[in-house]
């Protein structure tokens, strides 16, 4: 009897206001009420967290690194690298100009390399150089696995290159140097995508943003990338010829809204408009 007096129970009753008929009634203690409140709060917090994390609402959170932010970061890194190269050239130009005005011998890149090589050979012993030479040969042999051709290469300007059409379809999103350095070609799902030139597959795999992606290195500093594929038909290191099937059209990755091919054409390290050289 003493224990029952310690545990206080409360009854929550729901009645009809007009007939005063009891609709629902249950007993509850203070501990049970606190547990119910905590469970409700946890469910509410979990629902809000899931809504923010697994829906586009996460892009509204300040500081969230979305796809545009990452793309801008990559573009800024490329611009910084280009500026550093340009500054180095201007420094050499300024130094040579000062030497010309002073009547001194100008700097020649080949002579600088030879002088540095001569000083290096004097410092290093023969056995160490042989070891470095063996490591260098092994590295070169490994990199040659991704070479375009082992024979004599012709370096034609891109205007003289004949490209094979990778996919016949409708261009749904055109080229823009700043926001979209590529073209999107809409076609039925699982349509065959073909290589535009002879080359070697330097990358083939999965990306969360671009799905199944394959990149091919061609002669003349030409690089092509094919994204959002449903399936890859070639793997890294494979040799391909112009017109060879390399993938199938898909809708993979987070940055896509339908079955299409995201095609990028790179020449000498810069993304260029593919429609100027290829008929889709």
- 153-168 pLDDT per residue, tens: 556 688 888 999 999 9
Q: Which residue has the higher pLDDT, 229 or 48?
A: 229
The Cα 119–Cα 122 span in angstroms is 5
The Cα 169–Cα 185 span in angstroms is 6
Looking at beta carbons, which pairs linking 208-215 to residues 24 or more positions away fall under 8 Å? Answer: 208/253, 208/254, 209/67, 209/253, 209/254, 209/255, 210/252, 210/253, 210/255, 210/262, 211/250, 211/251, 211/252, 211/253, 211/256, 212/247, 212/250, 212/252, 214/246, 214/247
- Mean pLDDT throughout 191-213? 95
Q: Single out the residue of 162, 216, 167, 161 nearest to residue 189, CA to CA.
A: 167
Domain with CATH 2.70.70.10 in the chain: 163-276
Confidence bin at 66 (pLDDT 50/70/90)? low
The Cα 51–Cα 57 span in angstroms is 7
How many other β-carbons are positioned within 10 Å of the β-carbon of residue 264? 19
CATH architecture of 163-276: Distorted Sandwich (2.70)
Q: What pTM, to 2 d.p., does this model score?
A: 0.47
How many other β-carbons are positioned within 10 Å of the β-carbon of residue 274? 24
Confidence bin at 109 (pLDDT 50/70/90)? low
């Amino acid at each position: 009897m003493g224990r029952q007096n310690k545990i206080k129970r409360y009854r929550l009753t729901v009645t009809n206001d007009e007939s005063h008929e009891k609709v629902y009634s249950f007993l509850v203690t203070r501990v049970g009420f606190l547990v119910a409140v905590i469970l409700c709060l946890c469910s509410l917090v979990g629902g809000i967290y899931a809504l923010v994390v697994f829906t586009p609402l996460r892009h509204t959170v300040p500081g969230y690194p979305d796809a545009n932010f990452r793309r801008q970061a990559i573009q800024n890194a490329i611009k910084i690298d280009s500026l550093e190269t340009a500054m180095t050239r201007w420094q050499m130009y300024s130094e040579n100009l000062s030497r010309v005005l002073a009547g001194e011998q100008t700097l020649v890149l080949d002579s600088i390399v030879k002088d540095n090589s001569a000083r290096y050979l004097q410092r290093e012993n023969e056995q160490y150089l042989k070891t470095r030479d063996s490591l260098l040969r092994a590295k070169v042999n490994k990199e040659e696995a991704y070479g375009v051709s082992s024979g004599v290469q012709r370096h034609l300007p891109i205007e003289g290159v004949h490209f094979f059409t990778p996919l016949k379809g409708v261009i749904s999103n055109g080229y823009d140097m700043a926001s979209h350095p590529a073209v999107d070609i809409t076609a039925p799902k699982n349509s065959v995508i073909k290589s535009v030139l002879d080359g070697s597959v330097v990358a083939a795999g999965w990306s969360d943003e671009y799905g199944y992606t394959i990149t091919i290195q061609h002669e003349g500093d030409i690089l092509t990338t094919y994204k959002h594929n449903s399936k890859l038909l070639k793997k890294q290191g494979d040799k391909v010829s112009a017109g060879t099937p390399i993938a199938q059209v898909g809708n993979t990755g987070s940055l896509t809204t339908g079955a299409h091919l995201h095609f990028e054409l790179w020449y000498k390290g810069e993304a260029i408009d593919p429609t100027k050289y290829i008929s889709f």
